[in-house]
Structure 1
Amino acid sequence: MSNTINATNSTTSTSSTSNTQQTNSNSTLGKDDFLKLLVTQMENQDPMNPMDNTQSIAQMAQFSSLEQMTNIATAMDTLNTNFSSYNQQSLLAQGASLIGKTVSGLDTDGTTTISGTVEAVKWLDSNPKLQVRESDGSLVDLEMSMITQVQS
C-alpha cells in the first residue's frame, strides 16, 4: 500500500494491491458438517447398545467450544487488521503535522545527516517516510523513526 501526503496540494492519494485468497471449504468442518456427522452417527448406532448420553453431550460441548474458538480467532484477525490500519493512519497524520517544518535526522544506515524542510509524507515499505528538501535542493526520504530534531 502506498500513501502520499503532499504539501503543495494537501491531498492524500492511496493505492493498494489486494490479494484475494480462496479458502478450501473441504478442509474445515462447519456447523452443517457437524450436524451431518451427528445424524449419521445416530442412524448407525446399535439400538441395543446406544451411545451414552454423557458421550453425546461431551461431543456437543467440544464442537461448541471449537466453534467459539473459531469465532474468537476471526474476531482477533479483524481486530488486528483494524489496529494496523489505525496505526498507519496515525503515523501518516504525525508525518503530515511535520510538513513545512525543518527536521534533522539520520539516513537508514545511521551514517549521513539529513536536514531540510518536510515537503510530503509517504507510506513506503510499511514505514512512513518524510520527503525532505535539503539546502542543496535535493529531495531525500527520511524515515520518521530516524528524526533527531524538529524546528518550526
Structure 2
Amino acid sequence: MANSLNTITVDGVTQTVENYQASQTQANKDNSALGKDAFLQLLVTQMKYQDPLDPQDNGEYLAQLAQFSALEQMTNVAEGLGDVSKLVSNIDTSVLVGQLSNMIGKDIQWTVDNKSTDADGNTTTNTTKLEGQVTGVSISDGSPTIVASANGHTYKVAIGDIIRIGEGA
C-alpha cells in the first residue's frame, strides 16, 4: 500500500485517500460541503497519523475543535430555522383559510383567462368575467382557493383572480 499517511481506515477497511474520496463522492450526491461527521473523522484521522516525533501544536487542535463546535451549532440553527419556517407557513395558510371561510355565501366576481392558438401559431388571450357565489374554501397545490358556483358550474378561483366581493358583484 502507499504511504501510510495517505491512507484512511473506515470500518476496518484501509483505502488510499483518493479511493476514499471517490467512494464518498459516489455515496453522497451532495458533496458541496463537509458535514460535521466528515469533519470530525478527518480530525481524528489527522491525530491518529501525526508524526510522533513532531506532533501538531495543541493550539491548532483547539482551533480545529472550535471550528467543529461552530459547524455543529450552525447545523443545529439551520435545522431549527427550517422547522420555524414550516410552522410559520402552516400558520399563514391556516389564518388565510379562516379568513376566506368568512366569504362563504357571499357573491364574488372573478376573471378567467382563456388562451387560444390560431392556424398561424399566434396565441391570443381572452379574459372573461364570471359572477357567482362562494360555496367553500379549498387548498389546491399548497395554496388556498375559493370554491364558487356560477351558472350551474363549480369553479376553483385563485385569490388573485377575484375582482369584487359582496353585493353587486
For the criterion TM > 0.5, the same-fold answer is yes
Tell me which structure has the larger Cα radius of gyration. 2
How far apart in 1 are the matches of 2:46 and 2:143? 54
What is the CA distance between 1:122 and its match in structure 2?
0.7
What is the CA distance between 1:77 and its match in structure 2?
1.2
Higher relative contact order (CA 8 A, sep 6+): 1
How far apart in 2 are the matches of 1:104 and 1:125? 22
TM-score by length of 2: 0.63
Task: Name 1:105's counterpart in structure 2.
Answer: 110
Q: How many residues align?
A: 125
- Contact kept in structure 2, 1:107 and 1:143, CA below 8 Å: no
Task: Name 1:89's counterpart in structure 2.
Answer: 94
Give the residue type in structure 1 aligned to 2:56. M
Task: Name 1:129's counterpart in structure 2.
Answer: 145
Task: Name 2:153's counterpart in structure 1.
Answer: 138
How far apart in 2 are the matches of 1:73 and 1:119? 41
Gaps of 5+ in 2: 1-26, 29-33, 115-125
Gaps of 5+ in 1: 1-25
Identity %: 32
Task: Name 1:22's counterpart in structure 2.
Answer: none
Which structure 2 residues correspond to residues 1-152 of structure 1 after superposition, within 5 A?
Answer: 27=28, 29-30=35-36, 34=40, 37-108=42-113, 111-134=127-150, 136-151=151-166
What is the CA distance between 1:63 and its match in structure 2?
0.9
Give the residue type in structure 2 aligned to 1:44. Y
TM-score by length of 1: 0.69
What is the CA distance between 1:145 and its match in structure 2?
1.6
